[in-house]
Amino acid sequence: MRPGEKLALGYAYGASLLAYMVDGAPRPFSATWAVTNRCNLRCGYCNCPFIDPSHLDLSRTALLLDRLRAMGVRRLGLAGGEPLLRQDIGEIVGMAKDRGFWVSINSNLTLYDRHPERLHLADLVYTSLDGDEAAHEAARGTGSWAGVLAGIADLVRLGKPVIAICVVTEHSLDQAGAILRRAEAMGFRVHFQPRCTETEIVRGRAPATLTNAALRDFWRHLLGEKRRGRPIASSTAFLEFLAGWDDFAVSAVEVPGRRCAAGRGFFYVDPLGRAYPCAYTKGKMPSVDLLAADWRTAWDGATPCNRCIVGPMLEFNLLYWRPLAAAVASARSYG
Ligand code: SF4
Ligand code: SF4
């Protein structure tokens, strides 16, 4: 990341945090934009490939990026679906970089070798790794393993930071050791993520044999591995929170007197430019069309929950709940 971008990102986060602390107007510093719902894979826990396949063209993409920048967003996560299914994804990354965003991109990397250059302008690449070949394909389907390790190796060789996301399921529960050994050998880091339930972009459920006690043990074990210096991108606070979660069949709850920073500090944008506080709230509340309205004034400030273990949202929330520790950890892990 260029020094100017780092400063702009820090300033945007600081302004966003201040607005959150004084309960002022929303001031998101980060947006996650799903550039498409389409995907070449059919992972057992993901519903994205089964929902609306339409997306914004490049001229409306330019308008969306201009609007995000004008409202103070400096961190842009490009997600999907599979972004590499868009022939113009390289141009989208370039447009975002031209506007001064810090850009991460999530890709399953199975299509990476066709056009590796399309990811090269991104500041960080997230990919997926649910274990060894058998575990990965059990969770993500036949063909999901092909090209992933070669793609990671190429990105690492180019000096690109890579974080592999492991979704914790019955297939990956005993795979953390193998994934971390591979990460150490190849030079990438791993973010572990609970399986999310009850929202439009996910499907399926964990089997009853995967108990809450076993899952809490898993997160406690990871906490120990993190403290031993293993290449775990997930923050200590994130792992502690998960080690204490009561019921993993429930991803989000409403706790009286607590606030969530979704919508205030970060938000989610779907492939047509419609925004929600976070990906989990898509389909649970009205959206704001960012091509026609400003999130800061059009959103009513409501979220359906205020504590969750959903995807990266917990890491984002920790930036607001425990700002100092989380910002230092985040700068180390993601900066
Ligand atoms: S999790 Fe990612 S790779 Fe798997 S189906 Fe969903 S979008 Fe595609
Ligand atoms: S607690 Fe906040 S971030 Fe989590 S799912 Fe609910 S609205 Fe989204």
Dump pLDDT digits (tens) for 181-218. Answer: 999 999 999 999 999 888 888 888 888 889 999 999 99
Per-residue pLDDT, 5 = 82
Residue of 280, 285, 318 to mutate, ligand 2, most atoms within 8 A of C-beta:
280
Is 322:261 a contact under the CB 8 Å cutoff? no
Tell me the two tokens of residue 198.
């009850």
Contacts of 80 (CB under 8 A, 6+ apart): 34, 35, 36, 37, 38, 39, 48, 106, 107
Instruction: Tell me the pairing of strands 102-106 and 75-79.
Output: parallel
Is 198 strand, coil or helix? coil
Q: Which ligand has an atom closest to residue 309 CA?
A: 2
Q: What is the pLDDT of residues 54-110, one digit of tens each?
A: 999 999 999 999 999 999 999 999 999 999 999 999 999 999 999 999 999 999 999
| Ligand 1 center–CA 7 separation, angstroms | 33
d(CA 88, CA 305): 36
d(CA 111, CA 113): 6
Nearest alpha carbon, ligand 1 atom 7: 81
Residue with tokens 């791993």: 190
- Sign, Cα dihedral of 194, 199, 202, 204: positive
- The per-residue b/e assignment along 188-219, b for 16 or more CB within 10 angstroms, e otherwise, is bbbbbbbbbbebbbbbeebeeebeeeebbebb
* Nearest ligand 2 atom, CA 278: 8
| Ligand 1 center–CA 322 separation, angstroms | 31
| Ligand 1 center–CA 41 separation, angstroms | 6
Residue with tokens 């690449």: 125
Is 121:109 a contact under the CB 8 Å cutoff? no
| Ligand 2 center–CA 299 separation, angstroms | 15
Q: Which residues of the chain have pLDDT under 70?
A: 330-335
Instruction: Tell me the pairing of strands 102-106 and 124-128.
Output: parallel
Closest CA to 196 of 126, 124, 284, 120: 284
| Ligand 1 center–CA 173 separation, angstroms | 19
d(CA 69, CA 89): 19
Per-residue pLDDT, 333 = 63
Verify whether ligand 1 is closer than 6 Å to residue 43 (CB atom): yes
Per-residue pLDDT, 334 = 58
Beta bridge partners of 125: 105, 162
Tell me the two tokens of residue 196.
């999310």
- The structural domains of the chain, ordered by start, are 3-334 (3.20.20.70)
